[in-house]
Structure formats: C-alpha cells, structure tokens
Amino acid sequence: MTKATYLEAIRQAQHEEMSRDPRVFIMGEDIICNVFGTTTGFVEAFGTERVRDTPISENGFIGAAAGASMVGMRPIVDATIASFLYPAMDQIMSIIAKSRYIYGGQARLPLVIRTCLFYGNSNAAQHSDRPYSMFMNVPGLKIMVPSNAYDMKGMLKAAIRDDDPVLCFEDSTCWTSKSDMPDDPDFMIPLGKGDIKREGTDISVIAVAGAVPLALKAAEVLAKEGISIEVVDPRSLVPLDKALILKSVRKTGRAITVDPAHQTCSAASEISALIVEQAFDALRGPVLRVATADTHLPFSPAIEKALYPTVDRIVTAARTLVGTARPVSA
C-alpha cells in the first residue's frame, strides 16, 4: 500500500492497462509534454505510436477513437478540459453513443474519454463547465465521476476494460487528494456501484464528484450538532446505483443532493426525482438540492466561489431539513 494522488491514480491506471493490453493507446492534445501529469513517462514506456499528440481537432480525434475502437483497439482519449467536449458533440452523441444500437449490436466501442472539470479557479465561463448531466440525457454512454484517488484508479481501470464507451470526468478540485492504493494489478471498482463514504442516520447526502469531500466536511460540522449524516457517493452516474441511494434514503427518511453542476437538469435533479418517485413514502421532508446557480461562472474570484456548493450551504440545508416538518425552499 502506497499513497497516491488523484492525478497519480489516473497515471497509474493508464500505465498499468497500457502495459497489460497492447490494444490500449492514448491520444490527445499535448499529452507527450504532459500538461497535468497523467502521462509522465508514457512515451518512454510505450512509444509515440501509442502515445499520440493530436491536432486541436476534438471532433476529429474523438471520432477517430470511435473508428479505432470499432476495429478492435481500446482508445483512451485525453480531452483535457470538459468544455472542449462541445466541438466533439457530433461524434460523442451521434456516433459513440449510438453506433452499437443503430447497427444492431454489430459495433463495439470500447473507448474511454477522459476530461477534467476545471472549475473554481477563475477560468471563466468557457473553461469551467461541469457538463456530465448533459451526457446523462443520451443513452449509450457510461459516465464516471470519482471523488477520490482510490475510486479513480479502480474505476478507470474498469472503464478501460469495459466494452462500452465511458466518459470519465475528473474533478480538478480533487486532483491533489490522496488515498492508499492497493498493489493488486487487477484492482478494479465496477461502474454502477456506489459507495457509502460515511454512515449516518438522520439525512442522506448524495453528492457528486467534488461535492463528496464537501459533504464529508459538512457531516463533521453537523455531527457536533447531533445531526448524523450519511454521505452517499454514486461514483458513476450511468449506470446509477439507484438501489444504494434508495436504501440510504429509506433508512434516514431525508435527502439532500449535492452537485457542482448547474442546478437545472443536473445529476442532483435526476437523483432527487428518483428519490421522490421511488421512496416518497419514506420521506420526512422535501428533497433539497445544493447545486450551482443557473448563471455562468464569472472570472472574478470575488463572485465565483460562492456560486458552487459549499460546506456552509450543505450544513444550512441539513439544518433546514431536520428543523422543519413542512416543505421549505432551498
């Protein structure tokens, strides 16, 4: 067991899988020079055929990943920042998500598109997107949103071995967090399996990606007030571990969903709807959402930070929920 950061976990997962399987290769913009440190030493180990710098051409190389996967390769695309997926929406939505289906199962697309959620650091609206919920709205894409280094490594290895296309969203607010890493080269966490990050009895806080560490901090604060929080980390949004979420809510009778994405049509919204539809009888109050307000992310740090979910906002929502019997607005 050695400790590794979230970024190092990505590097290890890729390195191990590329060493294990010659069909795995990686491509993206400036990955040889290795901007974020997830491909350190890769060219030396695997050569420039399997570690490919691409032109700035997201629709082109993400489409090429689709084609390569259809003929037996297992591409990893490093799409740097999630906002850069938009030029490739054509290939992601029309080709990658749908080819297996429209060709009646003839096509297999075992590929991983990795990209980071680059918010909270004055990168302004065009670089700060958290767009995973947009992709939840089209069938055919698996979506993982790990919140710590351990989950990242296990899930990314599983994603690379998965025969379906996977979008891997890497929360930059988690980059430097560390976990103990198992030595097992086949250590994997299957997609679709959520995790209880902290057990509790009063409120289920279902948190997505970088909201998980915030929920854990909020739970500490609330524990001192005698409020017991259960933190549920779905870890992947597609497939979604509905059973784990519903079981937790049935136990606590209260739910808060926390999501760094914009609130409207967010993962938080979808999870809230799931709870209301399938565990209404167990609820002792409304399901509250703590998400990012529906405005763009401004550059100035003076007005950016407060827009996202914070420990304080989660604490306030929890107090509201246990303190009142009637529905309140968030």
Partner 1 sequence: MTDRPNDRSLEKYRRMLRIRHFEDKAEAIHAAGEIPGALHTYAGQEASGVGACIALRNDDYMVGTHRSHGHPIAKGAKLRPLMAELLGKVTGICKGKGGSMHLSDFSVGSLGETSIVGSGIPVAAGAALGSKLQGNDRVALCFFGDGATNEGAFHEGMNLAAVWKLPAIFVCENNGYAVSTPASAAVPVKDIAERAKAYAMPAIIVDGQDVDAVEAAVTEAVERARTGGGPTLVETKTYRYADHAVNMGRILLDRGAEVDEWRKRDPLTLYRARLLEAGVAAATLDAMEQEVADEVADALQFARDSAYPEQADAFDDVFVDRLPIPDYLTA
Q: In the complex with partner 1, which residue's Cβ is closer, 144 or 321?
A: 144
DSSP state at residue 217:
H
Strands 255-262 and 51-53: unpaired
CB-based contacts of 44, cutoff 8 Å, min separation 6? none
Compute φ and ψ for 5, nearest 5 degrees. -80, 170
Contact pick of 105, 281, 326, 329 for partner 1 (by CB under 8 A): 105
Nearer to partner 1, 59 or 316 (CB): 59
DSSP state of 211: H
163 binds partner 1, rule: CB under 8 A: yes
**Contact region for partner 1 (CB under 8 A) — 68-76, 127-135, 198-206, 296-304?**
68-76
Whole-number CA gyration radius for the chain? 20
Supply the angle between the helices 267-278 and 242-252 in degrees, to the nearest 10. Answer: 60
Q: Nearest distance from residue 168's CB to partner 1, in Å?
A: 16
Candidate list 62, 145, 208, 271; residue touching partner 1; CB under 8 A: 62
* C-alpha dist (Å) from residue 53 to 4, 118, 249: 26, 21, 46
Smallest distance from the beta carbon of 3 to partner 1, in angstroms? 34
54 contacts partner 1 (rule: CB under 8 A): yes
**Using rule CB under 8 A, residue 91 touches partner 1:** yes
For residue 171, what are the β-bridge partners? 117
* Residue 164 within binding range of partner 1, rule CB under 8 A: yes
Window contacting partner 1 (CB under 8 A); options: 71-79, 129-137, 266-274, 278-286? 71-79
Q: Please give the sequence-ordered ranges of beta strands (E in DSSP) within the chain, or none if there are none.
A: 2-5, 24-28, 51-53, 74-81, 112-117, 142-144, 166-171, 178-181, 195-198, 203-207, 229-233, 236-238, 255-262, 288-292
Measure Cα distances from 156 to 16, 74, 94, 219, 236 in Å.
11, 13, 24, 28, 11
Q: Which of 40, 86, 90, 316 binds partner 1 (CB under 8 A)?
A: 90
Binding to partner 1 by CB under 8 A, coded x per residue (else -) over 118-157, reads: ---------------------xx-x---------------
Residue 106 or 300 with smaller CB distance to partner 1: 106
Active site residue 15: no
Among positions 1, 33, 71, 302, the unique one binding partner 1 when judged by CB under 8 A: 71
Name, in order, each residue with C-beta under 8 angstroms of 282's C-beta and a sequence gap of 6 or more. 249, 250, 253
Beta-bridge partners for 236: 144
**Annotated catalytic residue, options 15, 127, 262, 296:** 127
Report the residue number, 92 or 203, with the smaller CB distance to partner 1: 92
Q: Which residues are catalytic?
A: 127
Binding site for partner 1 (CB under 8 A): 25, 49-50, 52, 54-55, 57, 59-73, 75, 87, 90-91, 94-95, 99-108, 139-140, 142, 163-164
